[in-house]
């Protein structure tokens, strides 16, 4: 991303598409990949799946499935073959205790992701870390 004065802010740009307070898609302009999120119900915040699309592809190139706890918080993410790609454990107050990732390629559910959120996102090693602003 470049400012009017020519200063470079970031090597790539990721667009987040929202429907109200639901994250619907993220578009990575550098890699030309799009990720679409599917929820359990239109009024629910519980994610069910994440579909990855390559540029010009109408069919998803990958599908990841969320495994949520009883209150809808994502605990695991698996690929189409059932391979564990991401998991996290949280304390009773929601503090992330353990995070593991292997092959998740989207920004929203990368190595340090907590939940799908509207908080400002800070980039680190090309993977988003969700950190609420004060």
- The pTM (predicted TM-score) of the whole model is 0.65
Q: What is the mean pLDDT of the chain?
A: 76
**pLDDT tens digit sequence for 42-100:** 888 999 999 999 988 889 999 999 999 998 888 999 999 999 988 888 888 878 787 77
**Domain range list for the chain:** 14-130
Among 50, 43, 49, which Cα is nearest to 22's?
A: 43
């Amino acid at each position: 991303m470049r400012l009017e004065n020519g200063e470079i802010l970031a090597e790539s740009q990721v667009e987040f598409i929202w429907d109200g307070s639901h994250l619907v898609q993220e578009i990575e302009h550098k890699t030309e990949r799009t990720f679409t999120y599917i929820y359990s119900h239109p009024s629910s915040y519980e994610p069910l799946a994440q579909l990855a699309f390559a540029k010009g592809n109408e069919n998803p190139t990958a599908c990841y499935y969320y495994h949520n706890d009883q209150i809808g918080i994502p605990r695991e993410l698996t690929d189409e073959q059932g391979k564990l790609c991401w998991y996290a454990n949280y304390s009773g107050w929601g503090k992330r205790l353990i995070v593991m990732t292997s092959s998740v390629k989207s920004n929203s559910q990368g190595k340090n992701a907590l939940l799908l959120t509207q908080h400002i996102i800070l980039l680190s090693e090309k993977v988003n870390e969700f950190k609420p602003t004060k």
